[in-house]
């Protein structure tokens, strides 16, 4: 069978139509065009500044950066958690040494600018990410307005992406590499040879640099297939891409873990059962169906547009179709990959606008835009200026600090720094990094989000779920580690009350010594801390108020779809004897999910109690 040559479509200057502004626009027109684009990117930047840092990983990254700077060496074993063992493992080595450059960077920025510096750093790199996505879209011969619409969809998602951690640099460098490869395919630009250097730098900042190799592999596979089975042998990009891939692989060795990351990042030894329970490791559609998070509409829209690109599969080209398929599947496997999918898909789906201009409806739209191009740019410019003004007004009252309402136990750390408590701490998983940053070495945490020790993570969950069985008892774990005090938030990330919190609130053996809008601190009565208990003990009802405060705050967040926060409110109100408020909360939960058996069961119970009470009267 003889393969028929298929001509791959690349838009020319004539094909670009309205994208070729140089011939059609006067100097004043180019100014308006610049204002339109600049105003939108300035709006992006201001909006990114308004994102309150909420990622709990940031703090153990900063703490590790401080350790590296002060000791002039990378940690060979974990210095922060009192539960850490000296048993080496390749996964542990990757976590301890795989982020060192970004950790030093974060620490130095934080030392100079505190949280304001971190917020500014995040905004700059995310804006750079969006800018290179925009440039890559423009490489497809797309009109500025279409490019702005596409990059605005990506921007929409960045507003909920937690960028204040090493992934920030992966997002940015990935977008740069994507742009450089696209530029090389079209112009054979020498700048593509910066890719191995960028991957080398990234391999010292974040173990997730492997995503860049997936990008290279898709390009290399696509161009190789074209080279082998189609008549595109002349000036084909496959040789250059092969050389770049080999150099990138060799350069990626120049990091403390060498090539171990490439092997273990995709092995079961790295993605353990415990890390797979992390929300961002779960598939997005599973999270949507469980109502753990609201639906990400930018993602859904881009998936739909990706399907539309199949209508132009021949013009889209093999390479871009491989990219689209690969990163669509990757994004569906874990929530943490959505940003990379949006980066890859935006230029591909935007390019469809070039192919679709021959369709009747699209042709009329293109004709209108071409005839009224100056007016369109003026409208877009005015829209951008309006968005800048509205964003700037809200920025004026913004507090450049971490999210103390939901994630940051700042006040609790202030309290613990002033109180001497004998024994060891058991802390909530997400609190570990911040407590290490604030209290180390005087007080050491039990666990943090690194999950360095699988056995400790298993025991942590045993305590958190208040499991009391012969093979796993939370009381025995407390004795094993000499735990005398517990620092925790009241709710799981799914909105339910943590079982250990309910256990300690009901137990006479544990005293509540601290509450605020986020944190509860309990101390064991027979742990030699009677003076602390006598001074700070509070009524257990105040612990219920913390539960209500957290559940209420989460329940009232925009686009909240999780009924568990309302169920938790209903239970807390019921326990306090506030039956009317309890019923209202369960009715709100019913509105979110009318088929939830827990909600219907509680509503039935409340109504039966109300009926029996009325009969008694």
What pLDDT digit, counting tens, does each position of 236-266 carry?
788 899 999 999 999 999 999 888 887 776 5
pLDDT at 617 over 50: no
3.30.2390, 1.10.10, 1.50.10, 3.40.50: CATH of 410-553: 3.40.50
pLDDT tens-digit series, residues 430-439: 999 999 999 9
CB 503 within 8 A of CB 531: no
CB 53 within 8 A of CB 403: yes
Highest-pLDDT range among 142-146, 274-278, 535-539: 535-539
pLDDT bucket at 74, cuts 50 / 70 / 90? very high
Quick one: fold of 563-617? Answer: 1.25.40
Q: Count other C-beta atoms under 10 Å from residue 360's C-beta.
A: 7
The residue written with tokens 């112009």 in the block is: 187
User: For residue 445, which of 462, 459, 463, 427 has the smallest C-alpha distance?
Assistant: 427
pLDDT at 508 over 50: yes
- The mean pLDDT value for 191-215 works out to 96
**What's the predicted TM-score (pTM) here?**
0.89
Q: Count other C-beta atoms under 10 Å from residue 239's C-beta.
A: 12
Strand partners, 524: 510
pLDDT tens-digit series, residues 117-167: 999 999 999 999 999 999 999 999 888 888 999 999 999 999 887 778 999
Choose between 428 and 226: higher pLDDT: 428
Domain boundaries, the chain: 32-161+374-399, 166-270, 275-358, 410-553, 563-617
pLDDT at 443 over 80: yes
C-alpha to C-alpha distances, 89 to 75, 92, 460, 491, 511, nearest whole angstrom: 14, 5, 20, 32, 39
Q: What pLDDT is attached to residue 4?
A: 42
Name the least confident of 142-146, 162-166, 229-233, 328-332: 229-233
Residue 287 and residue 292: Cα distance in Å, rounded? 5
Three-class HEC string of 415-483: HHHHCCCCCEEEECHHHHHHHHHHHCCCCCCCCCCCCCCHHHHHHHHHHHCCCEECCEEHHHHHHHCCE
pLDDT bucket at 613, cuts 50 / 70 / 90? low
Choose between 231 and 161: higher pLDDT: 161
Q: What pLDDT is attached to residue 409?
A: 93
Q: What pLDDT is attached to residue 21?
A: 39
C-alpha to C-alpha distances, 437 to 413, 443, 531, nearest whole angstrom: 10, 10, 27
Q: What pLDDT is attached to residue 279?
A: 79
pLDDT bucket at 372, cuts 50 / 70 / 90? confident
Share of the chain above pLDDT 90, in %: 64
pLDDT bucket at 359, cuts 50 / 70 / 90? low
Q: What pLDDT is attached to residue 139?
A: 92
CB 319 within 8 A of CB 220: no
Q: What pLDDT is attached to residue 267?
A: 60
pLDDT tens-digit series, residues 376-414: 889 999 999 999 999 888 887 777 777 777 788 999 999
Instruction: Report helix, strand or coil for 59.
Output: helix
The residue written with tokens 């943090």 in the block is: 448
Q: What pLDDT is attached to residue 469?
A: 92
CB 35 within 8 A of CB 144: no
Residue 202 and residue 419: Cα distance in Å, rounded? 41
- The mean pLDDT value for 551-578 works out to 91
Distance of alpha carbon 468 from the chain centroid: 34
Name the least confident of 36-40, 64-68, 313-317, 521-525: 313-317
pLDDT at 519 over 50: yes
Q: What pLDDT is attached to residue 266?
A: 59
Question: Average pLDDT of the chain?
Answer: 87
pLDDT tens-digit series, residues 3-47: 444 344 444 443 333 344 344 445 556 888 899 999 999 999 999
Q: What pLDDT is attached to residue 105?
A: 97
Name the least confident of 54-68, 210-224, 290-304: 290-304
pLDDT bucket at 354, cuts 50 / 70 / 90? confident
pLDDT tens-digit series, residues 76-117: 999 999 999 988 888 899 999 999 999 999 999 999 999 999
Residue 564 and residue 291: Cα distance in Å, rounded? 9
Choose between 495 and 1: higher pLDDT: 495
Q: What pLDDT is attached to residue 52?
A: 84
Instruction: Report helix, strand or coil for 510.
Output: strand
Residue 431 and residue 485: Cα distance in Å, rounded? 14
Choose between 520 and 315: higher pLDDT: 520
User: For residue 493, which of 325, 280, 349, 331 has the smallest C-alpha distance?
Assistant: 280
Name the least confident of 87-91, 179-183, 439-443: 87-91
């Amino acid at each position: 069978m003889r393969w028929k040559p298929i001509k791959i479509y690349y838009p020319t200057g004539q094909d670009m139509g309205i994208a070729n502004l140089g011939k059609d626009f006067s100097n004043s027109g180019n100014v308006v065009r610049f204002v339109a684009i600049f105003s939108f990117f300035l709006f992006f930047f201001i909006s990114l500044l308004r994102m309150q840092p909420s990622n709990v990983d940031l703090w153990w990254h900063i703490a590790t950066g401080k350790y590296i700077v002060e000791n002039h060496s990378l940690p060979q074993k974990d210095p922060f958690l009192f539960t850490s063992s000296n048993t080496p493992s390749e996964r542990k080595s990757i976590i301890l040494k795989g982020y060192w450059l970004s950790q030093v960077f974060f620490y130095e920025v934080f030392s100079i600018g505190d949280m304001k510096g971190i917020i500014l750093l995040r905004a700059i790199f995310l804006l750079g990410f969006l800018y290179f996505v925009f440039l890559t879209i423009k490489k497809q011969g797309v009109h500025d307005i279409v490019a702005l619409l596409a990059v605005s969809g990506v921007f929409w998602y960045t507003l909920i992406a937690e960028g204040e951690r090493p992934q920030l640099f992966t997002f940015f460098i990935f977008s740069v590499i994507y742009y450089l490869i696209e530029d090389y395919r079209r112009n054979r630009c020498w700048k593509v040879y910066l890719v191995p250097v960028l991957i080398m730098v990234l391999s010292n900042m974040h173990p997730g640099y492997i995503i860049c190799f997936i990008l290279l592999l898709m390009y290399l596979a696509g161009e190789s297939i074209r080279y082998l089975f189609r008549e595109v042998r002349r000036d084909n990009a496959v040789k250059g891409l092969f050389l770049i891939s080999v150099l990138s692989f060799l350069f990626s060795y120049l990091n403390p873990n060498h090539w171990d990351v490439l092997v273990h990042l995709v092995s079961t030894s790295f993605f353990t059962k415990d890390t797979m329970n992390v929300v961002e490791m779960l598939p997005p559609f599973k999270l949507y169906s469980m109502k753990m998070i609201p639906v990400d509409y930018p993602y859904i829209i881009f998936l739909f547009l990706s399907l539309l690109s199949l209508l132009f599969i021949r013009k889209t080209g093999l390479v871009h179709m491989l990219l689209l398929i690969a990163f669509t599947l990757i994004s569906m496997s874990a929530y943490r990959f959505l940003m990379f999918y949006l980066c890859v898909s935006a230029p591909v789906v935007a390019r469809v606008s070039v192919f679709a201009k021959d369709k009747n409806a699209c042709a009329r739209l293109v004709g209108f835009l071409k005839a009224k191009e100056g007016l369109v740019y003026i409208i877009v410019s005015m829209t951008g200026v309006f968005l800048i003004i509205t964003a700037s007004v809200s920025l004026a009252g913004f507090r450049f600090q971490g999210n103390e309402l939901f994630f940051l136990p700042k006040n609790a750390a202030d309290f613990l720094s002033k109180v001497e408590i004998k024994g060891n701490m058991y802390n909530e998983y997400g609190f570990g990094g911040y407590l290490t940053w604030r209290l180390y070495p005087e007080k050491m945490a039990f666990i943090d989000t690194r999950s360095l020790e699988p056995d400790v993570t298993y025991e942590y969950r045993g305590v958190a779920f208040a499991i009391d069985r012969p093979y796993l008892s939370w009381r025995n774990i407390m004795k094993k580690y000499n735990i005398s005090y517990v620092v925790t938030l009241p709710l799981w990330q799914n909105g339910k009350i943590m079982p250990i919190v309910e256990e300690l609130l009901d137990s006479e053996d544990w005293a509540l010594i601290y509450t605020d809008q986020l944190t509860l601190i309990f101390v064991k009565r027979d742990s030699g801390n009677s003076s602390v208990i006598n001074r700070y003990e509070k009524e257990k009802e105040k612990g219920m108020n913390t539960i209500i405060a957290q559940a209420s705050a989460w329940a009232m967040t925009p686009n909240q779809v999780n009924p568990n926060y309302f169920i938790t409110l209903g239970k807390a109100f019921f326990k306090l004897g506030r039956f009317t408020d309890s019923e209202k909360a369960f009715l709100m939960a019913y509105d979110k999910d009318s088929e939830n058996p827990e909600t219907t069961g509680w509503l039935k119970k409340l109504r039966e109690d109300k009926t029996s009470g009325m009969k008694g009267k």
